[in-house]
Chains A and B, each alone.
Chain A
Amino acid sequence: MVDLPRRSLLAGIAALGASACAKINESETAKSLFKAAEDGHRAVHRALAGKQGLAPEYTRAQRSPTFRGNGSVTVADPFYQEQLGKGFPDWQLEVRGLVERPLQLSLADIRALPQRPQITRHDCVEGWSAIGEWQGPQLATLLDAAKVRPEANFIVFRCADVLYGRDYYESIDMVDAYHPQTIIAHALNGEPLPEKNGAPLRMRIERQLGYKQAKYLKAIEAVASFDDIGQGKGGFWEDVAGYQWYAGI
């Protein structure tokens, strides 16, 4: 086995000829470079904005006329479809994992909690943006009620949709979990969430891109590490396509 720096250097030179990019992209050096750049951007964002710094909020007049649905826009599961037809009377949101008091919440329970309405912009990783009014309880309210244990480092969102044969999931760290604009939305523009936008419940994590905004929410799980979940990269698109775990860039 050729030593790594030399191989990376050779690959780097070859890449100038524009044909050996695959080698350089798969090298450990490139991966650690990507990770360092991603972590650096996150550190600067957090340092400049503060942990609680708010994403811009808009007025009702500034909303987009419609709100695009993307990724999964329907859920095949028969129980989901049955519930969708009836207005989700038996849908349960679980709060579990590293918590003192696991919770099971109905949609009525979620609506009865203190609510945060917010008109925010959704930015897809592809480049487009839509603006809508979301409403729901802050994630912090649920985490406090469930008493998250100190060893929890991440919150994982489990979803009902299946893409390319895999269950959708996402994860965030405790800074974003306790951010005031991190809410579990049950309404969009004053109406219950439509199916394409994640009915009955979806996450809003307003300082990150669209793929973090987990839809069709079934469970919220506090974990110490997400290494053993999916392929260990912290989310569906991170596993499938290699998207950055920190979706704030």
Chain B
Amino acid sequence: MKQHALSTRLWHWVNAIAIIVLFMTGLNISNAHRYLYWGDYGFDPKDAWLNVIRFPGWATIPQHYNLALARDWHTVAAWPFGAGLLFIWIAMLTNGHFRRDLATTPRDWSLRAVMASLKAHGGGEAAPGYNPVQRILYGMVFGVLLPLMVFTGLAISPGFQAAAPWLLELLGGRQSARSLHFVAAWGIFGFFVIHLALALANWRLILAMVTGGKCHAAEPAPAPPPSPSDESPSHG
């Protein structure tokens, strides 16, 4: 069995491109009205909870302010991003990736487990399975940040609100949904930076996400809750 399933690798790279396009077009869209509000309405900068900076051209797609083109690319990239998230969740649940690598036990959330995995990080790469910090971080990205982007994105579309008015209510109104869309995007950006830094520190990890990496003889038995002393070394 490969270290990374084909479904994981395919999704990873398609999603990487989609996220880069969505983030950089999103910064262009943000430049159109650089104020964030809570609640249903908001148009007056004096009611804003955040005055957003004007993002410079090098950080946006296109490289100059163009709301129409930014929205076109955002609308295009939303398809592989949203459909891809559904795809990878189904794949992770059916191929055991979720149970094996992402599901946490209460003990994973303990301070000792977290400290131990931080200390162990940078170790070998032979053993499968993620340490508690990785499980928690990846779990937050898959379970919270990425779905939040999809749902807040749908909620701020006026054509979608008629399909799911409950979604807008759940998120606290359209301007709250728009604010959450912005905050979650920066959360993903934060993950992206850490993820990229750790991957670049060991370029073989990037290669493994292309080729699938080393083959394992068999799927390991469901791991017992890790204790600090027998912490599996991380492989990213």
Q: Chain B residues with Cβ under 8 A from A25's Cβ?
A: 62, 69
- Closest B residue by C-beta to A36: B76
Chain A residues within an 8 Å CB radius of B163:
45, 48-49, 53
How many Å from the CB of A122 to the closest CB on chain B? 9
Interface membership of A62, Cβ < 8 A:
yes
Q: Could you give 21 example pairs across A and B, Cβ below 8 Å?
A: A18-B63, A22-B62, A37-B72, A38-B72, A40-B79, A45-B157, A48-B163, A55-B162, A62-B40, A121-B40, A121-B174, A123-B174, A126-B33, A127-B178, A128-B42, A129-B41, A129-B43, A208-B158, A241-B68, A244-B72, A247-B158
A104-138 to B contact mask, C-beta < 8 Å, 1/0: 00000000000000000101111111110000000
B180 at interface by CB-CB < 8 Å: no
Interface size class of A (residues with CB under 8 A): 35 or more
B186 proximal to A (CB < 8 A): no
Does A147 belong to the interface (CB within 8 Å)?
Answer: no
Cα A129 to Cα B72 with chains together (Å): 21
Would A121 and B41 count as touching, CB distance under 8 A?
yes
A contact set with B: CB distance below 8 Å = 18-19, 21-22, 25, 30, 33-34, 37-38, 40-42, 44-45, 48-50, 53-56, 58, 62, 64, 66, 68, 121, 123-131, 206-209, 241-244, 246-249
Known: A40-B79, A129-B41, A130-B43. 14 other contacts (CB 8 A): A25-B69, A44-B160, A49-B160, A55-B161, A55-B162, A62-B40, A123-B156, A126-B67, A129-B40, A207-B162, A244-B71, A247-B158, A248-B159, A249-B75
Partner of B168, one of A45, A54, A56, A64: A56
Residue from B44, B61, B157, B159 whose CB has the most chain A CB atoms within 10 Å: B159
A-facing residues in B87-129 (Cβ within 8 Å): none
Residues of B10-61 at the interface with A, using a CB-CB cut-off of 8 Å, are 29-30, 32-33, 35, 37, 40-44, 58, 61
Q: Number of B interface residues, CB 8 Å?
A: 39
Residues from chain B with Cβ under 8 Å of A246 in the complex: 159
Q: Compute how far the CA of A34 lies from the CA of B70 in the bound complex, rounded to whole angstroms.
A: 11
User: A246 vs B67: C-alpha distance in the bound complex, in angstroms?
Assistant: 15
Tell me how many residue pairs across A and B have CB atoms closer than 8 Å.
124
Which B residues lie within 8 Å of A244 (CB)?
68, 71-72, 75
- B131 interfacial contact with A, CB 8 Å: no
What's the Cα separation between A40 and B80 when bound, in Å? 12
Indicate if B164 sits at the interface (CB-CB under 8 A).
yes
Q: In whole angstroms, what is the CA distance A50 to B78 when docked?
A: 22
B175 on interface, CB distance cutoff 8 Å? yes
- Interface pair A45/B162, CB less than 8 Å apart: yes
Kindly provide the distance from the CB of A159 to the nearest chain B CB, expressed in whole angstroms.
20
Residues from chain A with a CB closer than 8 A to the CB of B42 are: 128-129
Residue from B41, B157, B165 with most neighbouring chain A CB atoms (10 Å): B41
Known: A37-B72, A38-B75, A249-B71. A18 touches B58 (CB 8 A): yes
Measured in the bound complex, the distance between the Cα atoms of B29 and A44 in whole Å is 23
| Complex contact A56–B161 (CB within 8 A) | yes
A64 & B43 in contact (Cβ 8 Å cutoff): yes
Residues of A within 8 Å of B73, CB to CB, are 34
Q: How far is the CA of A45 from the CA of B162 in the complex (A)?
A: 8
> Within the complex, what minimum Cβ distance (angstroms) separates B156 from chain A?
8
